[in-house]
């Protein structure tokens, strides 16, 4: 038994985090001497349930991946054993990304059909990244969005409330636990309970005691005393193990008896809005009330509607799994490919849905009220407004410094403040106006008509 | 920019994948000289939507973690900077698990209130594991269950159908991508598209081409020819880029023209049951039809109800996110703690739900029809039947050899065959009978009454 059985990914094996078909195609492109320049566009087609916007996140991880991807001592022997020929393994051993990437900065609100990221490179390179890039950007954007909805709901009532990710245990694996903490911070959270995420991304870590601490002592009072004796003013006492109101009184007693300004208490079960009021009446103002268990944006709305009072919340499962909408369904599609030396629009035909071809720009128009509308255009069009995608990799070199997370979180807050309130609604949001430019619409129609004709469909 | 920005977990940092409060409590237990033996039980309280059973999975990863956890060169400086004192850092630096673990073998069907795993150790050790153990067992069990539902649905119609995990790109991060592939195999799948999972867990990898391959050539025919020239009989041609039926004809033409027994075709969009029939009529029997896009157990049921025909399916998002029920909500609760030298039952009081105390056994009774009923009992009771939990760690040593994945998958299949059909239903399943033993019920009632009295609740 070794720790390998855990199934870690490291810089040496992350290159293998791709679908087999990406490798099969990569080899096939090479053996056919068919390695045209290609542009792939990452976007989502429609918003998940009850979502009016998505907050882009995960770019920093994509750049770290592109910058460090390698096929080394574990990857190559595996692929050899799987039957890939030596010529292809040599290509992988020497792999280096030489292309360009444009992307929307993290913390930007994005809407359907707007590229979050576009990769332009020899097709065999751009193809390889599909799986990992979708995985990272899709998940972090999903969680940043969920977090932003909670922050927005809280801010309507009280801007000083602390929101902490408590959901590592229910996240889908370790990477999700760590990345959800990062994405929640991007969305407006203050920190995480996850120590590995705190270490990896320099996030504030929160957490004091569980029910097991209280249960392990003969009485709740003894448990609180033992904790205060170690942590003093940093102590947050969990008061719902036996009876929340009695627990609040015991917590206050212990604080007075030990003559310590205990930081506060946490409630984790029961009728939380009502209990928060009861506890608030017992405790002095300088003791904080922290609420966890079942917290999401809908819980928060009801909590305030019922006049609950709290200084902080710890959303868990609903945050880290985006439980009501656990996928953004992002896609990474070939939109242009070099033919006869020229980049040529490309698409797939599908009944009932349009896949827009071409490398694109997203133009955002604002007025005095905030965001007014977006226009998705061919990149070679000039339709005005502010262009959302920026150059992040050129000729294989990362040319973009990811801002620190606090700056990204500020961007989210500034963006959200400009999104119309109806679009920000947590239930049945209004649709934000996103237009397809005349140029892109015309190119799409012409290409689809040509393809239908070639396929004998009309 | 370094690959650190990706946020990898390795054996050196996995110890940090815990909630801050586990570490806070661990330090507090030590500084209070309060380190009683404790038993924690991992279970789930109720089944997710439309689930009648859960397939246990993830034990091998828990054992690898317990066996290799360390606090080393990255963890200790981080915790020092966070303010943990040197005495506690010394404890972590020397950390070694010395306790016992019992667990249900992977591939076993488990029901509400049945422990999947119990840890008995000095409380500060057992406490530390909570976050990671819930994260790994919760996620893998969730996905193994989702996979088993799909396998079961397919098997009712055709036991020779291949099921392949296509969902890495939509999984929640890289660990989820890799572990979902493993768990899907446990649940009855045949392999995965994810190359990293194939490497880590020696799983069969599947995958040939995407739409981008087809789009990148001037014609679909040229794309198919180029692929067959490299892969010959291994080629599976994606035929829905422009028109599925025309694509099937082109695929057949290319196979004949090149005189190659091409393995088959894949359909990824449109009215898949109807298209599968149309394509099946065009292709010779020796060419397989593979179906992907939107596949889950409900899709499969409808596919067969509409007389679709396929040799294989590639479920993606619905599998790796368990989209209709993205969490199992497992808990890890203190159920017994040493007091005055004796292990004493422990629980938390909660309005409206019971948390059963005591280290437990699960007794399974079978009759000629298969599983008949389970009884959850105190571990010191003898109530007959077959006990599900086995010793996996004793005095800190792993004493259990995880079977290889094929053997685990066989166990899932054997177990499922014995689960009553009504309990296996993918919609509104019947409830499997799980009883609480008289002994456990009496202990629970007595403990709750004592705690209520102490808390002044009656």
- Specify the pLDDT at position A3: 66
Asked whether the beta carbons of residue B20 and residue A198 sit closer than 8 angstroms, the reply is: yes
- Specify the pLDDT at position B2: 56
- Specify the pLDDT at position B182: 98
* Partner residue facing B6 (CB), from A64, A79, A199: A64
Asked whether the beta carbons of residue A174 and residue B61 sit closer than 8 angstroms, the reply is: no
Q: What is the ipTM of this complex?
A: 0.98
Residues of A in contact with B37 (CB under 8 A): none
Min Cα–Cα distance to chain B from A285, Å: 24
Asked whether the beta carbons of residue A27 and residue B230 sit closer than 8 angstroms, the reply is: yes
- Specify the pLDDT at position A456: 80
Backbone φ and ψ for B336, nearest 5 degrees, come out as: -155, 145
Asked whether the beta carbons of residue B207 and residue A24 sit closer than 8 angstroms, the reply is: yes
Q: Which CATH class is domain B9-143+330-454?
A: alpha beta
- Specify the pLDDT at position A458: 66
Which stretches of chain A score pLDDT less than 50? 1
* Partner residue facing A230 (CB), from B32, B327, B452: B32
Q: Which fold has domain A208-309?
A: TIM Barrel (3.20.20)
- Specify the pLDDT at position A72: 86
8 Å CB contact between A293 and A276:
no
Q: Which residue of B has its CA nearest to A346?
A: B215
CATH 3.20.20.70 domain range(s) in chain A: 208-309
* Angle value at C-alpha A131, between A126 and A134, nearest 5 degrees: 95
User: What's the gap between Cα B414 and its chain centre?
Assistant: 18
pLDDT in tens, B153-208: 999 999 999 999 999 999 999 999 999 999 999 999 999 999 999 999 999 999 99
CATH 3.20.140.10 domain range(s) in chain B: 9-143+330-454
Q: Is the pTM of this model over 0.95?
A: yes
Tell the CATH superfamily of the B158-320 domain: Aldolase class I (3.20.20.70)
Residue B66: Cβ within 10 Å count: 23
CA count, 13 A, side-chain hemisphere, A275? 22
DSSP designation for A45: S
Dihedral of CA atoms B132, B138, B143, B144 in degrees, nearest 10, equals 100
End-to-end Cα separation, chain A, in angstroms:
62
Q: Which CATH architecture has domain A10-143+325-351+387-417?
A: Alpha-Beta Barrel (3.20)
* Partner residue facing B176 (CB), from A13, A18, A172: A172
Euclidean distance between CA atoms A322 and A144, whole angstroms: 10
CATH 3.20.140.10 domain range(s) in chain A: 10-143+325-351+387-417
- Specify the pLDDT at position A185: 98
- Specify the pLDDT at position A2: 56
8 Å CB contact between B4 and B78:
no
Beta strands at B191-192 and B162-165: parallel, antiparallel or unpaired: parallel
pLDDT in tens, B137-165: 999 999 999 999 999 999 999 999 999 99
Which stretches of chain B score pLDDT less than 70? 1-3, 458
Backbone φ and ψ for B264, nearest 5 degrees, come out as: 170, -165
pLDDT in tens, A19-56: 999 999 999 999 999 999 999 999 999 999 999 999 99
Residue B353 burial (CB < 10 Å; 0-12/13-18/19+)? exposed
- Specify the pLDDT at position B455: 83
Residue B309: Cβ within 10 Å count: 16
Min Cα–Cα distance to chain B from A369, Å: 36
Residues of A in contact with B270 (CB under 8 A): 350-351
| Among A2, A4, A5, A7, the residue to mutate for chain B (most B Cβ within 10 A) | A7
* Partner residue facing B16 (CB), from A13, A196, A332: A196
Asked whether the beta carbons of residue B216 and residue A7 sit closer than 8 angstroms, the reply is: no
CATH 3.20.20.70 domain range(s) in chain B: 158-320
Q: Helices A405-418 and A130-155: crossing angle, nearest 10°?
A: 60
The residues pairing with B42 across neighbouring beta strands, listed in sequence order, are: B117, B332
DSSP assignment of A253-264, as one string? Answer: HHHHHHT----E
DSSP designation for B402: P
* Partner residue facing B135 (CB), from A3, A61, A173: A173
Asked whether the beta carbons of residue A455 and residue B242 sit closer than 8 angstroms, the reply is: yes
Helix (H, G, I), strand (E, B) or coil at A418: helix
- Specify the pLDDT at position B3: 67
Residues of B in contact with A64 (CB under 8 A): 1-6
């Amino acid at each position: 038994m070794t720790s390998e059985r855990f199934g870690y990914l490291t810089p040496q094996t992350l290159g293998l985090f791709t679908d087999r078909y990406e490798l099969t195609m990569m080899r096939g492109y090479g053996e056919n001497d068919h390695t045209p320049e290609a542009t792939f566009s990452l976007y989502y087609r429609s918003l998940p349930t009850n979502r009016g916007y998505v907050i882009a996140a995960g770019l920093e991880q994509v750049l770290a991946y592109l910058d460090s991807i390698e096929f080394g001592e574990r990857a190559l022997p595996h692929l050899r054993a799987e039957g890939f020929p030596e010529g292809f393994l040599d290509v992988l051993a020497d792999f280096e990304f030489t292309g360009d990437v444009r992307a929307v900065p993290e913390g930007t609100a994005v809407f359907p059909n707007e590229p979050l990221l576009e990769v332009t490179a020899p097709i065999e390179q751009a193809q390889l990244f599909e799986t990992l890039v979708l995985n990272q950007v899709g998940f972090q954007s999903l969680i940043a969005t969920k977090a932003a909805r909670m922050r927005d709901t809280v801010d309507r009532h009280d801007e000083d409330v602390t929101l902490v990710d408590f959901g590592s245990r229910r996240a889908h694996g370790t990477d999700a636990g760590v990345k959800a903490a990062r994405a929640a911070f991007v969305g407006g959270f203050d920190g995480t309970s996850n120590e590995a995420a705190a270490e990896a991304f320099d996030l504030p870590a929160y957490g004091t005691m569980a029910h097991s601490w209280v249960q392990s002592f003969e009485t709740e009072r003894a448990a609180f005393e033992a904790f205060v004796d170690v942590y003093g003013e940093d102590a947050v006492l969990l008061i719902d193990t036996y009876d929340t109101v009695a627990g609040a009184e015991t917590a206050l007693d212990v604080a007075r008896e030990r003559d310590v300004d205990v930081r506060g208490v946490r409630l984790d079960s029961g009728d939380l809005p009502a209990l928060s009021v009861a506890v608030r009446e017992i405790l002095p103002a300088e003791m904080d009330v922290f609420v966890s268990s079942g917290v999401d944006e809908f819980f928060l709305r009801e909590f305030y509607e019922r006049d609950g009072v709290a200084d902080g919340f710890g959303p868990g499962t609903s945050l880290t799994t985006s439980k009501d909408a656990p996928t953004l369904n992002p896609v990474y599609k070939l939109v242009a490919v070099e033919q006869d030396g020229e980049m040529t629009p490309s698409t797939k035909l599908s009944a009932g849905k349009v896949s827009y071809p071409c490398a694109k720009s997203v133009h955002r128009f604002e007025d005095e009220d905030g965001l007014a509308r977006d226009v998705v255009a061919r990149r070679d069009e000039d339709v005005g407004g502010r262009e959302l995608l920026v150059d992040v990799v050129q000729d294989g070199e990362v040319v973009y410094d990811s801002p620190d997370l606090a700056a990204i979180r500020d961007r989210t807050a500034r963006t959200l403040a400009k999104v119309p309130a109806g679009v920000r609604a947590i239930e049945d949001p209004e649709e934000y106006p996103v237009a397809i430019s005349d140029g892109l619409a015309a190119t799409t129609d012409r290409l689809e008509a040509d393809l239908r004709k070639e396929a004998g469909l009309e």
